[in-house]
């Protein structure tokens, strides 16, 4: 599903009106009806059905006027509060304002301290507040009078439904501009906005309900939008169909360079996740001293014991054997639990120089690249890199806080510069491709902030690439599956104490749900 920023949604509205001759007032009517329907669902089970619609002076307020009209016509008690002088209302919003005036709907103007006190008292008696103050165009801090209004709304302990985006949240970045409405539900119009999905704005949105307001699909297609929200249907379209007449060779071969003394767990989690993701055959080169541990835990994988130049570390002392066994595979993963060592750096350099196989780089492989940035120029194959913000900071030499506040831009710029797929991990993982396409994932939960969770993601990506999925699509599917498996694990055991191995246990049922299109919360 495509995503947009504030400028793009404005452009999309203009295309619908100018190129497809859809009047703006029709789009506003459709938007208002969509919100009205959600309001009805909310209040039908409530004893107190009185609704307050708080409207700004722009088109978001106009949507609110439409909501108020339909509630009034339905016989539902409704009051409209306007956050400024109505003389400033124009265009389609003005037409809808004129209509509710003619209907004698209760309209009150919010200006001055006395009005705020009255508003606060009225709020205490209502059952639901509809937030129609600001739309997607907000780009300045909310302060003064409007901040007081939002504060009253948030302290009301009433149900709150926001139209398109909670007022005070930036549509293009998810930033909170001073103070924002804390909604229980946000009715998103046409397409999700970046601010609906990105944190901290996502914390203010509550449940997201995405509604079609009649913008033609051709208009969306013609805009060539590069931002995408990963959905269940998208991932279902990526995962390969499995024929009945098959053998393990049909599902690909993976090669995982991972693990060292004290960090065999990372390698085991990566391999188990790849196996649970459906890879047909998996090999892991291991230092001879660690082979017994690996063989004992990874009964479904093939270990390749190697001589050790340094105890417990895979090095390049037997690179010819590594190269031979590596080239038999469809994908190579490097880094989980490998340890920071000169041996790993040299092994990584040699692999990058000698293979054209798809590569997945994680953890210590990324740290090696950060230490030896000249290695980035050696990449000649399709490569997926899976940094968290700390690793991204070391790779780019950018400040961590800057990366946190500009995740999409940082991931995209690095991806295009080095012609790699970047999976920037965290809440709302960003997948960026060299062609400029961006994918945002919204599955997952805080319980997944646990040791080994990233190793599991690396294993899933590796397993999917081995099965013939294009690396960027494999990354897109993997982050969704990884997050959804974590959500299922949290449903089963809770977020506290959730382990990376719990995510692995849920992978088969998660994939089954997606492939068979069994409904799960997305």
pLDDT in tens, 43-83: 998 999 999 999 999 999 999 999 999 999 999 999 999 99
Question: Hey, what domains does the chain have and what are their CATH numbers?
Answer: 2-217 (3.40.50.10260), 232-515 (3.40.1190.20)
- Residue ranges of the annotated binding site for AMP are 425-429, 454
Sheet with 207-211: list strands edge to edge: 106-109, 78-82, 51-55, 128-132, 159-163, 185-189, 207-211
For the annotated binding site, the residues are 59-63, 131, 135-141, 164, 167, 266, 337, 388, 425-429, 454-455
Task: Point out the annotated binding site for K(+).
Answer: 60, 131, 167
On the question of pLDDT at 518 being above 60, the answer is: no
Query: What strands lie across the sheet with 359-361, from one edge to the other?
Result: 2-3, 227-229, 438-440, 430-432, 421-424, 383-385, 359-361, 331-334, 253-257, 281-287, 302-306
What pLDDT, in 10s, does the model give residues 496-512?
Answer: 999 999 999 999 999 99
pLDDT one-digit tens code per residue, 401-454: 999 999 999 999 999 999 999 999 999 999 999 999 999 999 999 999 999 999
Radius of gyration (Cα) for the chain, nearest Å?
27
The pLDDT tens digits of the residues spanning 111-163 come to 876 789 999 999 999 999 999 999 999 989 998 899 999 999 999 999 999 99
Closest by Cα among 47, 97, 108, 91 to 67: 97
Cα 204 to Cα 166, 200, 209, distances in angstroms: 7, 7, 14
Residue 454 CB-half CA count within 13 A: 24
Q: Which two tokens stand for residue 465?
A: 């690439």
The pLDDT value given to residue 521: 47
β-strand pairing of 227-229 with 2-3: antiparallel
Task: Please say whether the dihedral angle defined by the alpha carbons of residues 229, 234, 238 and 244, taken in this order, is positive or negative.
Answer: positive
Q: What is the pLDDT of residue 317?
A: 66
| Contacts of 285 by beta carbon, 8 Å cutoff, 6+ apart | 255, 257, 303, 304, 306, 314, 321, 322, 325
Q: Which residue has the tokens 């991932």?
A: 235
Give the H/E segment covering residue 102: helix 91-102
Q: 25-56: buried (b, 16+ CB within 10 Å) or exposed (e) per residue?
A: bebbbbbbbbbbebbeebbeeeeebbbbbbbb
Which residue positions form the known binding site for (6S)-NADPHX? 59-63, 135-141, 164, 266, 337, 388, 455
Q: How much is the average pLDDT of 296-315? A: 85
List 331's β-bridge partners, or say none.
254
Backbone angles phi, psi at 85, to 5 degrees: -75, 120
What is the distance between the alpha carbons of residues 350 and 16, in angstroms, rounded to a whole number? 54
């Amino acid at each position: 599903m495509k995503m947009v920023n504030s400028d793009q949604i404005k452009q999309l509205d203009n295309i619908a009106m100018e190129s497809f001759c859809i009047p703006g007032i029709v789009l506003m009517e459709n938007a208002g009806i969509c919100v009205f329907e959600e309001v009805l669902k909310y209040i039908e089970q409530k004893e107190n059905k009185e609704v307050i619609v708080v409207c700004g002076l722009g088109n978001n307020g106009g949507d609110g006027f439409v909501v108020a009209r339909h509630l009034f016509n339905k016989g539902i008690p409704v009051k409209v509060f306007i956050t400024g002088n109505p003389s400033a209302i124009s265009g389609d919003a003005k037409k809808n304002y004129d209509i509710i005036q003619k209907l004698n709907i209760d309209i009150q103007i919010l200006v001055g301290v006395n009005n705020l006190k009255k508003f606060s008292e009225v709020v205490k008696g209502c059952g639901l507040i509809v937030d129609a103050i600001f739309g997607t165009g907000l780009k300045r801090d909310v302060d003064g009078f409007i901040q007081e209004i939002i504060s009253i709304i948030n302290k009301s302990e009433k149900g709150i439904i926001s139209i398109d985006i909670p007022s005070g949240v930036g549509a293009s970045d998810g930033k909170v501009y001073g103070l924002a409405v804390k909604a229980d539900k946000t009715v998103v119009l046409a397409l999700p906005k970046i601010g609906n999905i990105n944190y901290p704005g996502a914390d203010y949105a509550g449940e997201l309900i995405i509604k079609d307001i009649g913008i033609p699909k051709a208009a969306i297609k013609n805009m060539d939008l590069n931002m995408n929200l990963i959905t269940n249907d998208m991932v279902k379209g990526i995962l390969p169909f499995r024929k009945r007449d098959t053998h393990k060779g049909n599902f690909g071969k993976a090669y995982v360079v991972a693990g060292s003394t004290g960090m065999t767990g990372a390698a085991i989690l990566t391999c188990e996740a790849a196996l649970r993701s459906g890879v047909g055959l998996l090999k892991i080169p291991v230092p001879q001293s660690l082979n017994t541990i690996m063989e004992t835990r990874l009964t479904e994988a093939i270990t390749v014991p190697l001589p050790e130049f340094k105890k417990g570390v895979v090095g390049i002392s037997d690179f010819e054997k590594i190269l031979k066994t590596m080239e038999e595979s469809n994908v190579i993963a490097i880094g989980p639990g490998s340890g920071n060592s000169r041996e790993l750096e040299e092994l990584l350099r040699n692999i990058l120089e000698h293979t054209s196989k798809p590569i997945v780089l994680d953890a210590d492989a990324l740290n090696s690249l950060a230490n030896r940035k000249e290695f980035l120029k050696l990449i000649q194959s399709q490569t997926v890199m899976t940094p968290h913000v700390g690793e991204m900071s070391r790779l780019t030499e950018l400040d961590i806080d800057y990366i946190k506040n500009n995740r999409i831009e940082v991931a995209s710029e690095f991806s295009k510069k080095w012609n790699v797929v970047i999976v920037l991990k965290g809440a709302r993982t960003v997948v960026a491709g060299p062609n400029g396409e961006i994918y945002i994932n919204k599955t997952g939960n805080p319980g997944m902030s646990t040791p080994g969770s990233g190793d599991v993601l690396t294993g899933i990506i590796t397993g999917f690439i081995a099965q013939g999925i294009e690396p960027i699509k494999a990354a897109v599917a993997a982050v969704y599956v990884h997050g959804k498996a974590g959500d299922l694990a949290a449903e089963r055991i809770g977020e506290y104490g959730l382990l990376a191995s719990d995510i692995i246990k849920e992978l088969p049922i998660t994939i089954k749900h997606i492939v068979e299109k069994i409904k799960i919360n997305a």
